[in-house]
């Protein structure tokens, strides 16, 4: 059991929506948000060490892991990053954490981006792993982006087309998605964690929810980001950006410059010697970066 020492919880956050998570520690609160197609287990190589200094809360985003997986609709608002950010605020508030740090990867980092803008008084500092802002990535789309992030365009297709393709052979999808496309080998993943990721791909409700996450990113999330830019709403807290030296962010974007465009505070960061799945590929280095940034 990867999180055996942690206390599991389920909290109602929005009507019949329940968010699952685990928590441990007694220091300053730190919220961990996972990426696609993973869940809170992706943090298993650093969470116990972090819990020695922080009150660690690791959740499954709505649509992922053991959290609720409501059916989407044509607006995709149910899976907008603004809605998912509200889930996070509800969880942390119910756990007694009015202000907290965030470390978030991939899709979770996109939720954290919106959370920092919508709820600035709640966030002390934020660490975002291996992303550039969603709007910037779509607006700069080219052959390199579309090839490396093919799933951004597959998963946004009208339901149930991508769901049907994935569900026809979830093992093949996961083997390609995680086994060498973004990581050096599928062997970097702990078997218990990977089995849980694969199990989700065998669940039609989870596959639909993940597609809705991406559909929201290509529609309502872009509307929200354009509105934020127009209204001058920016990230207010200090921000650290870390990305894999072997991935698309390094090859295509000036990550620090892109985040400075949407931040009113300091932005720092660097490329790390790994691929996309930083917490599982390079945990010791990530721990060092987190602890240094949060204690400065």
| Catalytically annotated residues | 106, 276
Do residues 43 and 32 make contact, with C-beta atoms less than 8 angstroms apart? Answer: yes
Nearest 10 degrees: Cα torsion 173, 80, 236, 38: -30
DSSP H/E element including 167: helix 161-168
| Residues 132, 87: Cα–Cα separation, whole Å | 22
Do residues 163 and 211 make contact, with C-beta atoms less than 8 angstroms apart? Answer: yes
Q: Which two tokens stand for residue 248?
A: 């698309």
CA–chain centroid gap for 167, Å, is 23
Find tokens 């996070």 and name the residue.
88
Helix 191-201 × helix 204-217 angle, to 10° = 80
Strands annotated E in the chain: 7-14, 17-24, 29-33, 55-59, 100-105, 123-129, 239-244, 267-272
């Amino acid at each position: 059991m990867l999180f055996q020492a942690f206390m599991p919880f389920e909290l109602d956050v929005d009507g019949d929506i329940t968010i699952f998570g685990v928590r441990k520690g007694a220091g300053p609160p730190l919220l961990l948000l996972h990426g696609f197609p993973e869940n809170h287990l992706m943090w298993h190589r650093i969470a116990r060490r972090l819990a020695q200094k922080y009150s660690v809360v690791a959740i499954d985003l709505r649509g992922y892991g053991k959290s609720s997986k409501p059916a989407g609709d044509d607006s995709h608002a149910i899976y907008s990053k603004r809605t998912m950010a509200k889930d996070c605020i509800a969880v942390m508030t119910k756990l007694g954490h009015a202000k907290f740090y965030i470390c978030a990867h991939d899709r979770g980092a996109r939720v954290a981006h919106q959370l920092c803008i919508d709820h600035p008084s709640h966030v002390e500092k934020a660490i975002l792993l291996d992303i550039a802002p969603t709007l910037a990535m779509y607006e700069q789309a080219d052959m390199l982006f579309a090839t490396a992030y093919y799933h951004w365009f597959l998963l946004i297709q009208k339901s149930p087309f991508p769901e049907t393709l994935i569900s026809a052979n979830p093992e093949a999808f996961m083997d390609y998605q995680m086994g060498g496309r973004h990581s050096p080998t599928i062997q970097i993943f702990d078997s218990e964690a990977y089995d849980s990721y694969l199990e989700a791909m065998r669940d039609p409700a989870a596959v639909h929810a993940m597609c809705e996450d991406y559909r929201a990113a290509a529609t309502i999330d872009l509307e929200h980001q354009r509105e934020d830019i127009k209204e001058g709403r920016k990230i207010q807290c200090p921000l650290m950006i870390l990305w894999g030296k072997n991935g698309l962010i390094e090859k295509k974007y000036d990550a620090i410059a892109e985040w400075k465009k949407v931040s009113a505070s300091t932005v720092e960061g660097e490329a790390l010697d790994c691929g996309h799945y930083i917490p599982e590929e390079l945990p010791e280095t990530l721990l060092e970066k987190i602890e240094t940034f949060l204690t400065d």
